[in-house]
Amino acid sequence: MSATQTERLNFSSVQNKPDYPDFLDIQIKSFQDFFQLETKSEERGNEGLYKTFMENFPITDTRNQFVLEFLDYFVDPPRYSIQECIERGLTYSVPLKARLKLYCTDEEHEDFETIVQDVYLGTIPYMTPSGTFCINGAERVVVSQLHRSPGVFFGQSFHANGTKLYSARVIPFKGSWIEFATDINSVMYAYIDRKKKLPVTTLFRAIGFERDKDILEIFDLAEEIKATKTGLKKYMGRKLAARVLKTWHEDFVDEDTGEVVSIERNEIILDRDTVLEKEHIEEILESGSKTILLHKEDNQLADYAIIHNTLQKDPTNSEKEAVEHIYRQLRNAEPPDEETARGIINKLFFSDQRYNLGEVGRYRMNKKLGLDIEMEKQVLTKEDIITIVKYLIELINSKAEIDDIDHLSNRRVRTVGEQLSSQFGVGLARMARTIRERMNVRDNEVFTPIDLINAKTLSSVINSFFGTNQLSQFMDQTNPLAEITHKRRLSALGPGGLSRERAGFEVRDVHYTHYGRLCPIETPEGPNIGLISSLSVYAKVNNLGFIETPYRKVENGKIDLKNEPIYLSAEEEEEKLIAQANIPLKKDGTIDSDRVIAREEGDFPVVEPKQVNYADVAPNQIASISASLIPFLEHDDANRALMGSNMMRQAVPLLRAEAPIVGTGLERQVASDSRVLINAEGDGVVEYVDANEIVIKYDRTDDERLVSFDDDSKTYNLIKFRKTNQSTSINLKPIVKKGDRVTKGQVLCQGYATEDGELALGRNMKVAFMPWKGYNFEDAIVISEKVVREDIFTSIHIDEYSLEVRDTKLGNEELTNDIPNVSEEATKDLDEHGMIRIGAEVKPGDILIGKITPKGESDPTPEEKLLRAIFGDKAGDVKDASLKASPSLRGVVIDKKLFARAIKDKRKRAKDKEDIAELEAKYDAKFDALKEVLVEKLFAIVGGKTAQGVMNDLGEVVFPKGKKYTLKMLNAVEDYTHLTGGTWTTDDDTNRMVKDLMHNYKIKENDLQGNLRREKFTISVGDELPSGILKLAKVYIAKKRKLKVGDKMAGRHGNKGIVARIVREEDMPFLEDGTPVDIVLNPLGVPSRMNIGQIYETVLGWAGQKLGSKYATPIFDGATLDQINELTDKAGIPRFGHTYLYDGGTGQRFDQPATVGVIYMLKLGHMVDDKMHARSIGPYSLITQQPLGGKAQFGGQRFGEMEVWALEAYGASSTLREILTVKSDDVIGRAKTYESIVKGEAMPEPGLPESFNVLMHELKGLGLDIRLEE
């Protein structure tokens, strides 16, 4: 094994491909932006956790006397490492603390001082460096959600009579939905929360456009003329645009109060659309109206007919009437007063307490409606409502387009950070409610922030999110590719998303905006198809949650290859002409072609180079990681490519992994970004290597040594046989030797489906495509015995078995090897704790962990009393509750662990006190030593230089400005952890070194604090275990699985099959030189499936094996047939792999040549050992008394309706009767049958099936009296 990495011959023709972004960015960056722990508190952006705190604080009581303000938050280091959490079944979390300030605004409370306190808010699950969360010992992933973006959406639908109906829906981040829609009578209504309906003009009146005149002026639909006799005569024959009202006031006496109240009355003199005649002039003048409104005489009128129709339907005439009408609609009650009525509409849409479009919503609204409202204004405005209605009218008149709901500018991604923010929002809102209640109760007492806060509130919300939310999923950890794909998955399901039943074809389909953003290939088969997708290789999620993909700028037919590519969202890409990545270019980037096929939205026009705006960066830009790993994907049918990319995730890590001869060049990046391997952190030399650890001495400058508290050497522990979520095993082996020189980023180990730092999911196998005695019919696979003998597809699977020791009502359970009524032979491998020894071979039925549990007390018989008197009390009070190996378990014990909670008595507690005092003294010495080292290093950096005024975090000056640093001065500081950065000296380099030194000191100090806390906890409590559990025993059993008949195998092109026969090596077909092939595949599996990529791979793989080289053939940019032919000629093998084979049995040559070569085969997780199952006697269902179903329940096979028909067709009446009665639910009959088999007697007559009794009881339940007549 060498430390040199494999060089692949790359067939790509595209130059200057940019580097791939970190594949786990979508998880890790999102979480970092949420917590912002790297950022100083004063520099934190208004996002994530900080934003959530700011939205919920300050909190005041109902009388506004007390105020609780939020100042800052911070976290302590986790108590346990990730590995410890996995082993103990704990959550890897950090304690979250907030610095809160409580003060009183009431002058009467003079005794109440301002209090600033750090308050514990609960423990929060923390992301591991590989982008997962460890919850109760299991690694989980929070999948990103693809949901409809907030903003405004314009759509159309058809009424049953064929009329087109248009709608505009405003979807906020939080708050009520409002929809504007037309009906068949061409009237526009506003729907609030999809149920309450009112004419749009009523809403206009309520938001300040009170009179008809105001509404018509918005759309410039009317002209105002003075109501004079001569003036009106000029306009006779024109239509009125607004009603003419007569208004007067009436006084009446309120019966309850006796007051005289004046109310306004309106009477309609002339209605809208009345044609102005001579007789109307007098009425208008009498009404006292100063002006009237007439329709404008232009073509615009027809376009805006809907506004006039809506005004006709509008039951209100003023703002007061409008707000009261809206109140009645929403509340189904009369408003108590005008103020309340007016408040309801403000609260719904114009108050930031109740309504929030979010930054995204405001951005989308501004973009869609061409507005310029500032991003901070995240409530609806009058301008929004008017512009939406205007756009809707344009839509009705076919002057605007409806929105495509599946366009990626209308769908955005909610990453982990955002999902956590919304959960924190819920938790903090609940907490705020209890804080307010507690403030109200404490009237004259003095209290502190700690008294107000209940830490469980927040923790319970967060824990339920991680435990039960649909998007928090148990990580798929079969191999590194499965892990990385799971973390990059986007789901349209989940809370606030779609449901499988409601999702139609359009949502699931590939959309042109998916190009370079979502993979068109990788999606599950089955009910979730199209709802769960994968991020493309180059795609990123921007700050607003929209997916972006990179393009190179093209100007005047020249591609800009020098600068970094530009990332565009789906919206920014609209109306742009985009060329492909593999267009021919000259050296300077000029397009070397007269015509170019480009992409413009959903079309593919052929254009001149100078018309092109952008070019793709790489041909594999459209695909996800899995699809990009399939060589010659361009020659495969999309359906098979989908199966291929899904099956690579199910490949089991093999005992000896092998990287593919034919790869795509992405294998190294996937292995490194999956965070499975260990990479060198810098340049250095390997000092020591064994199977468990690698020690590297890094090259460091004097300055680096000066600011560091660590040695030059660093030890890396290798993971040995760790169980994954899917029971596969991670086992890393070193690939460097002692004395090797390593460079930064170099891979130091391999294992867990990687080889030499490359992804290695399977093995390169010599295959022949030919029929073999019918054994490879229907995709079955014939395999050589050599493959099994040489452990080529052998994998190791680890199962974890655990047993809890609980505290029961009858006494404590106990782990022991002294188990009642069990032979010595059965307990020979158990230690004193009853746990099986490491290295023991396990067979079905063996005891893995011995446990006894107290039996229920019953009155002892005289014999028992005698026995107890002789052998001491409690001789037979315990029963065996041991954990035994299940029927299919065979393997070797590779590890065992026992966790126990400390049980205390008085003497033990006194001893603990002494131990803790001793421990604290030991750690005090360590802290002092660390501080001494810090002072020495500080003096070496700043000694003799002039201070610039260094403060601590309370704002007190520690080193006054102008003083020179001395050793005495530096020693005088008691606590260095509270010193803020700031400027220590006038020299920038010195300040940078001090900053690095202080940073490293705080890390070291935090580590020591964490270790102290952990050791204290171990002394006082023991191991942390869930409540009610005293001990937890775990046994790990490794199973070595060789390839068997019935195991599922597959290539990378969706070519899957089951092993049908393992044939002796000498019987396999062999080549002219006598080499037998390893696998025989069915040639009929290729033409109809249209996955020709496998044939290309086979031929190139053989050439690579002969020449001893490996290839990278990137998708859509891979090796051509000519290039492959060149290599086959060079390797001296026939073109296209067409070779005559010889029959292993007879030695005769087959009549026709077959395609032979080397293909990369995977063994999938569907193994026959997990599926094989048989039952003779087992559990029965309680009510129907029929056998249970399924392997897990040790159930039987269902004999269904169609199977009954088969037996009926053969007239097998006795067999049928037996199956339907004694083998199923005839309880008495099955007992008798067992008896007769044991005694060797004739079979009894069957009795009544239990299901008949169930039917009888159900009928009786309906009140029907049913009896069986003899």
At the topology level, CATH places domain 150-220+317-408 in 3.90.1110
Q: What is the rounded distance in angstroms from the CA atom of residue 440 to the CA atom of residue 433? A: 11
Integer angstrom CA distances of residue 571 from 171, 367, 1197, 1221: 19, 10, 55, 67
Q: What is the average per-residue pLDDT within 258-273? A: 70
Q: What is the rounded distance in angstroms from the CA atom of residue 39 to the CA atom of residue 37? A: 5
Q: For 1005, phi and psi rounded to 5 degrees?
A: -65, -40
Q: What is the CATH number of domain 503-629?
A: 2.30.150.10
Residue-level pLDDT at 702: 82
Among 571, 529, 517, 542, which residue's Cα sits nearest to residue 403?
Answer: 571
Q: What is the rounded distance in angstroms from the CA atom of residue 750 to the CA atom of residue 728? A: 16
Residue-level pLDDT at 3: 46
Q: What is the average per-residue pLDDT within 70-97? A: 90
Helix (H, G, I), strand (E, B) or coil at 203: helix
Residue-level pLDDT at 1012: 85
Residue-level pLDDT at 147: 93
102-111, 160-169, 381-390: range with lowest mean pLDDT: 102-111
Asked if the model's pLDDT at residue 542 lies above 80, the reply is yes
Asked if the model's pLDDT at residue 875 lies above 60, the reply is no
Residue-level pLDDT at 1149: 96
DSSP characters for 359-415?
A: HHHHHHHHHHHT----TT--S--HHHHHHHHHHHHHHHTTSSPPP-TTSTTSEEEE-
Task: Assign 262 a pLDDT band (cuts: 50, 70, 90).
Answer: low
Task: Assign 704 a pLDDT band (cuts: 50, 70, 90).
Answer: confident
Task: Assign 959 a pLDDT band (cuts: 50, 70, 90).
Answer: confident
Residue-level pLDDT at 1155: 97
The structure tokens listed for 364 are 């989308």
Residue-level pLDDT at 859: 66
Integer angstrom CA distances of residue 459 from 91, 462, 467: 12, 5, 12
Preceding peptide of 660 cis, ω within 30°: no
Task: Assign 348 a pLDDT band (cuts: 50, 70, 90).
Answer: confident
Residue-level pLDDT at 301: 67
The structure tokens listed for 724 are 């994954």
Q: How many CB atoms lie within 10 A of CB 12?
A: 20
| Strands in 286-363 per DSSP E | 291-295
CB 334, CB 340: distance < 8 Å:
no
Integer angstrom CA distances of residue 437 from 117, 353, 679: 20, 20, 54
Give domain limits for the chain: 25-146+416-483, 150-220+317-408, 222-295, 503-629, 767-794+1044-1169, 798-901+1029-1040, 906-1020, 1174-1261
Integer angstrom CA distances of residue 365 from 404, 573, 1246: 15, 18, 75
User: Which residues, at least 6 apart from 632, have a Cβ–Cβ distance to it below 8 Å?
Assistant: 662, 1053, 1092, 1093, 1094, 1096, 1097, 1113, 1115, 1118, 1119
Task: Assign 264 a pLDDT band (cuts: 50, 70, 90).
Answer: low
Q: Which among 78-82, 216-220, 252-256, 867-871 has the top mean pLDDT?
A: 78-82
pLDDT 10s digits, 212-234? 888 888 887 777 787 777 667 77
Residue-level pLDDT at 114: 84
Q: What is the rounded distance in angstroms from the CA atom of residue 304 to the CA atom of residue 396? A: 10
960-993 burial by CB neighbour count: b if 16+ within 10 A, else e? eeeeebeeebbeebeebeebeeebbbeeeeebeb
Task: Assign 1104 a pLDDT band (cuts: 50, 70, 90).
Answer: very high
Asked if the model's pLDDT at residue 102 lies above 70, the reply is yes
Q: What is the rounded distance in angstroms from the CA atom of residue 480 to the CA atom of residue 490? A: 18
At the topology level, CATH places domain 1174-1261 in DCoH-like (3.90.1800)
Q: Which among 254-258, 578-582, 815-819, 970-974 has the top mean pLDDT?
A: 578-582
Residue-level pLDDT at 1: 39
Q: What is the CATH number of domain 25-146+416-483?
A: 3.90.1100.10
Cα 603 to chain centroid, rounded? 33
Residue-level pLDDT at 364: 93
Q: What is the rounded distance in angstroms from the CA atom of residue 1033 to the CA atom of residue 800? A: 10
Residue-level pLDDT at 876: 61
The structure tokens listed for 1228 are 């008495």
Report the DSSP pairing between strands 733-734 and 722-723: unpaired
Q: What is the average per-residue pLDDT within 61-81? A: 88
Residue-level pLDDT at 759: 96
Task: Assign 108 a pLDDT band (cuts: 50, 70, 90).
Answer: confident
**1136 secondary structure, DSSP code:** G
CB 73, CB 408: distance < 8 Å:
no
Q: What is the rounded distance in angstroms from the CA atom of residue 583 to the CA atom of residue 597? A: 9
pLDDT 10s digits, 392-413? 999 999 888 999 999 999 999 9
Q: What is the average per-residue pLDDT within 556-572? A: 94
The rounded percent of the chain whose pLDDT value lies above 70 is: 96
Residue-level pLDDT at 258: 67
State in Å, rounded, how far the first CA of the chain is from the last one.
83
Question: Which residue type does 1035 have?
Answer: V
Tell me if the domain spanning 798-901+1029-1040 has CATH number 2.40.50.150: yes
CATH class for domain 767-794+1044-1169?
A: mainly beta
556-577 burial by CB neighbour count: b if 16+ within 10 A, else e? ebbbeeeeebebbbbbebeebb
Q: What is the average per-residue pLDDT within 957-966? A: 79
Helix (H, G, I), strand (E, B) or coil at 1074: coil
Among 1046, 1075, 1142, which residue's Cα sits nearest to residue 765?
Answer: 1075
Q: For 168, phi and psi rounded to 5 degrees?
A: -130, 120
For the CA atoms of 496, 500, 504, 507, the dihedral, rounded to the nearest 10 degrees, stands at: 50
pLDDT 10s digits, 273-290? 777 777 777 777 777 677
Among 660, 707, 535, which residue's Cα sits nearest to residue 22?
Answer: 535
Asked if the model's pLDDT at residue 1094 lies above 50, the reply is yes
Task: Assign 772 a pLDDT band (cuts: 50, 70, 90).
Answer: very high
pTM listed for this prediction: 0.90
DSSP alpha helix (H) spans, 716-805: 785-789
Q: What is the rounded distance in angstroms from the CA atom of residue 514 to the CA atom of residue 532? A: 13
Q: For 164, phi and psi rounded to 5 degrees?
A: -80, 130
Degrees, nearest 5: CA angle 747-752-758: 45
Mean pLDDT of the chain: 89
Task: Assign 2 a pLDDT band (cuts: 50, 70, 90).
Answer: very low
Degrees, nearest 5: CA angle 20-25-30: 155
650-664, 892-906, 986-1000, 1219-1233: range with lowest mean pLDDT: 986-1000
CB 96, CB 48: distance < 8 Å:
no
Residue-level pLDDT at 688: 95
